[in-house]
Amino acid sequence: MWDYTDKVKEHFLNPRNVGEIENADAVGEVGSLACGDALKLFIKLDDTKERIVDAKFQTFGCGSAIASSSALTEMIKGKTLDEALGVTNKEIADFLGGLPEEKMHCSVMGQEALEVAIAKYRGGPVPTHDHGHEHEQEGEIVCKCFGLTDGFLKKVISQNRLHTAEQVTHFTKAGGACGGCIPKIKELIAEVLGEQQKQESKKPERLTNLRKMQLIQEVLENEVRPLLWADGGDLELIDIAGNAVQIAFRKACAGCASSGYTSRFVEQKLRELVADDITVEEVQG
Amino acid sequence: MREIYLDNNATTKVDEVVFEEMRPYFCELYGNPSSMHYFGGQVQKKVDEARQRVADLIGAHPEEIIFTACGTESDNAAIRSALEVFPNKRHVITTRVEHPAVLTLCRGLSKHGYRVTELNVDSAGRLDMDELRSAIDDNTAIVSIMYANNETGVIFPIEEVGRLVKEKGALFHTDAVQAVGKIPLNMAESTIDMLSLSGHKLHAPKGVGILYVRKGVPFRPLLVGGHQEKSRRAGTENTASIIALGKACELAGQHMGDENTRVRAMRDRLENELLRLIPAARINGGGADRLPNTVSIAFEFVEGELILLYLSELGICASSGSACTSGSLEPSHVLRAMGVPFTCAHGSIRFSLSRFTTDEEIDTVIRELPAIIRRGREMSPFGRELLAK
């Protein structure tokens, strides 16, 4: 039997916020009957359309899927959409006092449904890891059985610091059916680990302008763009003048309602990995 | 909370009579049956008695019984023996619905130069006999086909299979772990060459099993060492458990009638009432000949682990064909082989009864389960249309 925490048990025995919201502002659906679990998330916003005032769910799945859905709805109530987008699957699992590793994919499903709901509300393309449903797929499909892309898998690997293919299966289901993509998953892990190591050895003390420009380019290529690809977006570096970096958004990011948020994310990444005084500005071009 | 134990195909309660029979062989009569003194000798006599009791249950001779540690060991010993006996035959036949004890072994063999045929079953879980007929040839070393399926209880036409196998000169092994004690078997009039049995499925303890090997069938041991079990299975005998298994087999013989009347009636009642009270439910293997104690029932649009967790809160113990209970991501290989749709496979629950099951326990399940299924469907994004009808 699974070693579920008391909090997990409490949430599947007495799930919060089961049901649907009529006239919901945002609805996100992930999973399918064939996959063995599916979650439909309903979100109601306040009058300014910024803050979540209510959230409900319908879930087909095991005890931890129900508990993760219940936890997610509790966690996002009262948050702004941008704050809600910052909720990670790990935070959902932590809220429940932890999940067995084999069940971590339930928490990932919660996070996915939230991203899908918000992306659909904001009018951008739906994130690509919407397995089981027919949506536009961007990125390369790695796991054919569950329809998961490299961008999505890399994001989960990086956020949860996964280092074995088995862990990736537990977190995303990838590789859990026919197993054909396990070699590719191992490659992705190596890639992400390589990036993480590079990241840790970065940020030298003093930079020449030329070196700084090289670093900015590297960070955008290796750290930022893969994450945007995962959600169907992209960016282009337009200019670097001293510490001022100009970027233009492409694909899904162009004209996306949350591009301001994305600019701040890029700036934060560059400050973290290159220099503390970098500023990022979005330009048309 | 007293448990309502309906998971007897997973394991069974040790019968208290069986436990009393084995109890003296730990601290008092702990001698080694191989010893030359009276102290070990008296244990040897009890082991012989147990061998006779096991043989009686399945209509075999005592010298055809080899005690092992479990059903898995018996399965491995049988198949590996056949491959050693026929070093030039490189083909093995089994089924897609076997227990992992056989299936994992066979799939491993296919990576070591053996050709392995996994026979298909139909939607009721019945074996495709034509496929067997065309698969078997002179190169087939062994055919290993379970007597009855652990998940659905579907019984295969073992003697018909055996006759086909004999015509081609291959050996025939059956994993009868789920069948022994539930339906009568008689090796004296059988085509089976080797048969596996496990103690803990028939109210003996875990950690003991047997491999039946018909007299005259060539055999090579899996474990070599001492001369125990006539050098067919080395290792000091697990005397207490062997003695327990003997007693359990004796009792199983006595209760066989009960199993096929009272237990079967309870199973049938459970099945019929659940089908009557719960919409969109179906019996997996419902169209086939089945063990009297097993029902596998599928509920659409609700996930099996959740059903088990809610049942467990009420003390009701069952099992599931769902992916989520095992930590794997795909529903049971047995249900998939039968082509059970995904909508049902994820929501399949197995109840397996025993002679200790009571009518009151069955009443409780019939009373509680419909609300649990309804609750699960109310939570599910797919179940709501069904409920609206």
State whether B306 and A61 contact (CB < 8 Å).
yes
Residues A124 and A144 in one domain: no
Residues B353, B271: contact at Cβ < 8 Å?
Answer: no
CA distances from B5 to A69, B64, B346, B364 (A): 31, 34, 22, 12
Residue A168 has pLDDT above 50, yes or no: yes
Check if A35 is active-site: yes
Distance in Å from the first CA to the final CA of chain A = 57
Contact B379 A176 (CB under 8 A): no
- Domain end position, chosen among A178, A201, A224: A201
CA distance A193 to A117: 30
User: Chain B residues with CB inside 8 Å of A66's CB?
Assistant: 306, 379
**Are residues A176 and B330, on separate chains, in Cβ contact within 8 Å?**
yes
Smallest CA–CA distance, residue B324 to chain A, in Å, is 6
The pLDDT value recorded for residue A130 is 45
Segment B265-301, tens digit of pLDDT: 999 999 999 999 999 999 999 989 999 999 999 999 9
CA distance B248 to chain A (A): 28
Q: Which residue has the higher pLDDT, B116 or B342?
A: B116
For residue B317, the chain A residue with the least C-alpha distance is A1
The Cα–Cα gap between A228 and A265 comes to 11
Q: Per residue in A72-93, pLDDT tens?
A: 999 999 999 999 999 999 999 9
pTM recorded for the entire structure: 0.81
Any bridge partners for residue B201, and if so which? none
Percent of chain B with pLDDT over 70: 98
Positive/negative CA dihedral, A96, A100, A104, A110: negative
Domain boundary among A170, A201, A232: A201
Task: Report CB contact under 8 Å: A33, B343.
Answer: yes
Q: What is the CATH number of the domain that holds A237?
A: 3.30.300.130
CA distance B282 to chain A (A): 17
pLDDT digits (tens, 9 = 90+) for B60-97: 999 999 999 999 999 999 999 999 999 999 999 999 99
What domain range is A277 assigned to? Answer: 209-282
B328 pLDDT above the threshold of 70: no
> What class does CATH assign to B16-251?
alpha beta
Delimit the domains of chain B by residue range: 4-10+256-388, 16-251
DSSP per-residue string spanning A190-226: HHHHHHHHHHHT---SS--HHHHHHHHHHHIIIIIHH
Nearest to A59 among B322, B323, B380 (CB): B380
Range scoring the smallest mean pLDDT among B154-158, B221-225, B385-389: B385-389
Collapse the DSSP code of B302 into the 3-class scheme (helix H, G, I; strand E, B; otherwise coil) and give the result.
coil
- The ipTM, to two decimals, is 0.87
Stretch A56-78: mean pLDDT: 95
Taking CA–CA distances from B330, the nearest residue in chain A reads: A177
CATH of the domain at A155: 1.10.10.1100
Domain limit, last residue, from A100, A128, A156: A128
C-alpha–C-alpha distance, residues B300 and B341, integer Å: 9
Nearest CA in chain B to A102: B327
Task: Using an 8 Å CB-CB cutoff, list chain A residues near B322.
Answer: 36, 62
CATH fold label, B4-10+256-388? Aspartate Aminotransferase, domain 1 (3.90.1150)
Would an 8 Å CB–CB cutoff place B331 in contact with chain A? yes
Interface touch A62/B305, C-beta < 8 Å = yes
Overall domain count for chain A: 3
